[in-house]
Chains A and B, each alone.
Chain A
Amino acid sequence: MTPPSRTTARETKLRVQGVNKVFTRDGKSVNVLEDIDLEIRDGEFVCLLGPSGCGKSTLLNIVAGFTPPTSGQVYIDGEPVTGPDPRRIFVFQERGVFPWLTVEGNIGFGLFRLPPKEKARRIAHYVKLVGLSGFEQAYPAELSGGMKQRLEVARALAVNPDMLFLDEPFGALDSITRLLMRSELLRIWEAEKKTILFVTHDIEESVQLADRVVVMSARPAKIQRVVEIDIPHPRDISSPRYLKLRDGIFEEIGLAHKV
């Protein structure tokens, strides 16, 4: 008798069913997404991986309810998605924080329904969590790129969503900051039990973070393969298992091992 695996025990959080997206521009129509089917379980960390311009942001925008699909449907907790919802927060690829608000103002942006005391407590908590103590009154223009990105993550977490959609949130950061941010995100994910859908075009990043990596093909984007990353955190990125999974994805995408 084998016990039920960790993953099958959890219920489906998000279901993407037969989603297509066609953009029409200057009379020409471009097929960006083709028959996307995807299921994500509660508490899972899933990376969407694919070449630049393939339609990852488009898919994430559909899942988040910002853009309607041309056909198909997205369900979250069994309910069809009809628009954005504060229970699932989108972290943008760039320039997502509000430049006219301070760090505190940004983190408190979504907390307008809370009594002032509770709001202040939450702001203080998340300022500390993302390491922005001392910058409470600073404006985004006075922050570095990494700090701005952390600020946006804090703004998202502050409303206590059960899902996070992150669109290449660390893409514009230097490699050291990017590594730090990844372990921060993993720490938060494990502590707060969120379901995360994370878009990236960085293979290493996806293998370091995800429970499963969804590999997308170039346009029109289809799901080419789903790779289960069965390595517990913290992951040893020089272990044979890690290297094997990583190289498998490299091959899947058709990239040689040598530069």
Chain B
Amino acid sequence: MLAWDILIRWSPGGLLPRPWEVVQGLTELAQKGLLFKYIVASLFRVTWGYVAAAVLAIPFGLMLGWHRRGELALNPLIQILRPISPLAWIPISILWFGVGDVAALFLIFMASFLPLTVTAMNAVKNILPTHLNAGRNFGLSPAQIVLKVIYPSVMPQLIAGLRITLGIAWLVVVAAEMIAVNSGLGFLIIDARNAGNRYDLVVAGMVMIGLIGLVLDLGMRRLEKLKSLRWGYASE
């Protein structure tokens, strides 16, 4: 905080806010009811884009990992699409869906879908054949094998992938909101700048983005710590 304050005094332009100004900015936003509204808007978009991607990508990736042919067929496509930044989809998403919530959701979906597919695919491939054989040996039905062997085998990797992807989705929602919509924390930042260089509000938005990102990550980390999942992160 002190370092921040000192740096600001020396910085050129004199536009950047001091810490207490940011606090004032946050209070102002909260009083107008905008802060809460924007946070909800951003979380809403992330949740839906991310959950939709997870619901489709995880079963899809699991299938690909299980059936080697499917993986062989689709892997080249996945590998080409993977290095494309989700932000590169902005023009196409606006072309397809116009400016609005759907375009933003699409971007988050695109950002989450491929990483989750790849995670699920690799998680299945890493299931030990001995575990599957042991399951069959003890007379489990196919459904029981899914429930008692495949599910616990893939969970640690899936949770780790879900955590990383949620981080990506949270990065992308801010970018999407700067361009495609007029609410949310990303919009707050770009709007505060455009409407009279309110850099106190810009930084206030950034602080909120950082804090919420941190809370999301901590929440996912708590999942990783569950005892029945922890084995997956041991050195074995």
Q: Which residues of A are in contact with B by a Cβ distance under 8 Å?
A: 64, 66, 83-86, 89-90, 92, 94-96, 98-101, 109-110, 112, 139-141, 159
Contacts and interface: CB of A to CB of B under 8 A. Distances in A.
Interface stretch (B13-21, B31-39, B46-54, B223-231): B223-231
Given A66-B136, A100-B152, 19 more contacts: A66-B133, A86-B137, A90-B133, A90-B134, A92-B130, A92-B133, A95-B128, A95-B130, A98-B131, A99-B231, A100-B155, A100-B231, A100-B232, A101-B228, A109-B148, A112-B140, A139-B227, A139-B231, A159-B138
B83 interface: no
Contacts of A96: 130-131, 134
B139 interface: yes
A94 B133 CA distance: 13
Contact of A99 (B138, B139, B140, B236): B236
Interface string B138-153: 1110001000110011
B231 A92 contact: no
A128 B130 CA distance: 25
Interface in B192-236: 227-232, 234, 236
Contacts of B232: 99-100
Contact of B136 (A83, A100, A109, A140): A83
A84 B231 contact: no
A165 to B, nearest CB: 9
Interface of B: 128, 130-131, 133-134, 136-140, 144, 148-149, 152-153, 155, 227-232, 234, 236
A77 B236 CA distance: 39
B231 A141 contact: yes
Contact of A84 (B136, B153, B228, B236): B136
Contacts of B149: 98
B144 to A, nearest CB: 8
A96 B138 CA distance: 13
Contacts of A139: 227, 230-231
Contacts of A83: 136
Nearest to A86: B139
Nearest to A113: B139
Contact of A109 (B133, B138, B153, B155): B138
Contacts of B231: 99-100, 139-141
A99 B144 CA distance: 17
A110 B139 contact: yes
Nearest to A139: B231
A64 B234 contact: no
